Amino acid sequence: MEQAYDLTEGNIKRQLIYLSIPLLIGNIFQQFYNTIDSIIVGTYVGHDAFAAIGIAGTIMNLFIFIIIGCCTGISIITAQLYGEKNYDAMRNEIFLSSVLGGVVTVIISILGIFFMPIILRLIQTPSQLIGYVTQYMNVILAGLIATFLYNFLSSILRSVGNTKMALIFLVISIALNVVLDLLLIKQFSMGIMGAALATVISQLVSAVLLYLYIVFKIPFLKVKKEDIKYNSKLLKLTWQYSFVSALHQSSLYIGKLLVQGAVNSLGVDAISAYTATGRIEDVILAFGNSGSESTSIFIAQNTGAKNYKRVLKGFKEAMILIQLVCILMILFLFFKSDVLLNFFVFDEGQNVLNYGIHYFKIISMFYIVSLVGSIFVGYYRGTGHVNIPVIGTTLQIVIRVILSYLLVGSMGIGGVALATGIGWIGIIIFQITVFIKNKYYQIKDEDVTLNTAVK
């Protein structure tokens, strides 16, 4: 079991950092997939194809976030069972969740292909781009099972504390994607379909490599004949965790799309500035995402082991670490955001740069709220209360969208920043209220939902 890591004993701070760094790098690298396709397609196919990749990426991300959410829910269950040392139930869970996830993915693929024309009309896709987007998305959706398998196997690795190898296979996938993009688009002139095919193939190859690694390096995770059995309680729990986690991930993305509408009313300069700030902000929030996931893995394993004092200590250590990181980011973005913006603004002009600086002057003060909220999400997921992050996120989205449209007229892009910050405050007030009201600072066995479900 040298490739799996028991987090139920040892130095907590060191373990959280060890988990977080590969996750952080992975979250940043994950954003490169569609960007790489865009650059290569724009260079070798043309402007219309480049624009189509942008639209397709927006649609594709929604499907991917649903899959990532499902796999996140599965990883919480497997991490708790690993911490409990209940390897039989863990392998049964891997079997059940792979079947359930595979079936759901196939259904999503079929529905996505069937309803794609309607989706493209709803988002008002220009007629000259519809053919390009349809070609790209049909290939992506047909190969969506590869995306599921890759994310599913990565989540299993992470649940046993191995975040380093999950990162290595992600880098392999991205590198292969670049090579295949150049080969299929430049050499074989397959156009935008080649870009989609490169993405599917690279994820499929990475999924196969992940499977082989798990089989040969972590053999106790390999599903055996006796593990292939029906467990209604475990299947129901898997569906619950996966559905709720997928809802959480997809609702975040939908909320971001809705806010984009408010920004669009400000004109091209504001849109360009918001696009630039969004790219920087994605990296900043990756600290929260990686902190949340590492916290949930740590807490899930210790929850499974019923080591509740360590659960609370890990939660406290994660809070301290994320705040130390956040203070440095706040100071830099408040005083020197122009340094980063210059990498993305290019020659759009000083007006665009000023919009971006104004945005960061306001929102930088709220990042600590967002990142602290991410640690709460990790805590609630790790202890099995996956519904709480969804409720909090829904509250945040409602506040953020409504205030964005109300404030954008008088405050411009600064109104969007303020609305986002107030939304983050709303979610953390909810999280703290639930934490105190239910006395989760005194976590007890009855607070944990998993242990009784698999007996």
363-414 confidence digits (pLDDT tens): 888 888 888 888 999 999 988 888 898 888 888 888 988 998 899 888 888 8
Structural domain boundaries of the chain? 11-230, 266-455
Count other Cβ atoms within 10 Å, centred on residue 78. Answer: 27
The mean pLDDT of 258-272, rounded to a whole number, is 73
Indicate whether 454 pLDDT > 70. Answer: no
**The three-state (H, E, C) secondary structure of 3-38, written as one string:** CCCCCCCCCHHHHHHHHHHHHHHHHHHHCHHHHHHH
The owner of tokens 């649903």 is: 66
Query: What is the pLDDT, as a whole number, of residue 349?
Result: 63
- State the Cα–Cα distance between residues 293 and 29, nearest whole angstrom: 16
Q: How confident is the model over 88-107, as a mean pLDDT?
A: 93
- The answer on pLDDT for 156 being more than 90 is yes
**What pLDDT is recorded for position 355?**
81
Closest CA to 68 of 292, 276, 342: 292
Q: What is the pLDDT of residue 1?
A: 45
114 pLDDT band (50/70/90 cuts)?
Answer: very high
What is the rounded CA–CA span in Å between residue 337 and residue 65? 29
Question: Does position 34 have pLDDT exceeding 50, yes or no?
Answer: yes
Write the burial class of residue 445 (CB in 10 Å: 0-12 exposed, 13-18 middle, 19+ buried): exposed
439 band by pLDDT with thresholds 50, 70 and 90:
confident
Above 70 in pLDDT, residue 449? Answer: no
User: Residue 139: its pLDDT value, please?
Assistant: 93
What does the alpha-carbon distance between residue 155 and residue 101 come to, in Å, rounded to a whole number? 13
Instruction: Return d(Cα 68, Cα 314) in angstroms, integer.
Output: 24
Q: What is the mean pLDDT of residues 436-445?
A: 75
Burial code (b: 16+ CB inside 10 Å, e: under 16) for 29-50 equals ebeebbebbbebbbebbeebbb
Percent of the chain with pLDDT over 90: 27
Residue 337: its H or E element: helix 308-345
Q: Is pLDDT of 453 > 60?
A: no
Q: What is the mean pLDDT of the segment spanning 234-241?
A: 90
Q: Which residue has the higher pLDDT, 108 or 344?
A: 108
The pair of structure tokens assigned to 240 is 């619950």
DSSP H stretches of helix in 218-307: 232-264, 268-304
Rounded to two decimals, the pTM is: 0.84
| 75, 155 contact by CB (below 8 A) | yes
Contact 80, 450 (CB under 8 A): yes
Cβ-defined contacts of 129-132 (< 8 Å, 24+): 129/48, 129/51, 129/52, 129/55, 132/48, 132/49, 132/52, 132/53, 132/56, 132/192
Look up tokens 């290569």; give the residue.
40
pLDDT digits (tens, 9 = 90+) for 177-231: 889 989 998 888 888 889 899 989 999 999 999 999 999 999 889 898 898 998 9
Count of alpha carbons within 13 angstroms of residue 379, beta-carbon side: 26
Specify the pLDDT at position 108: 92
What amino acid occupies position 146? Answer: A
R_g (Cα) of the chain, nearest Å: 22
| 421 within 8 A of 362, measured Cβ to Cβ | yes
Residue-wise pLDDT tens digits, 277-322: 777 777 788 888 888 889 999 999 999 888 888 999 999 999 888 8
Provide the 10 A C-beta neighbour count for residue 212. 10
Mean pLDDT, the chain, rounded, equals 84
The 10 Å Cβ neighbour count of residue 324 is 9
Of the ranges 267-281, 346-360, 396-410, the best mean pLDDT one = 396-410
DSSP for 130-176 reads HHHHHHHHHHHHHTHHHHHHHHHHHHHHHHTT-HHHHHHHHHHHHHH
Q: What's residue 170's pLDDT?
A: 86
- pLDDT of 35 > 80? The answer is no
- Distances 141 to 63, 161, 267 between C-alpha atoms, Å: 9, 31, 33
Tell me what pLDDT residue 344 has: 61
Lowest-confidence segment of 52-66, 107-121, 391-405 by average pLDDT: 52-66
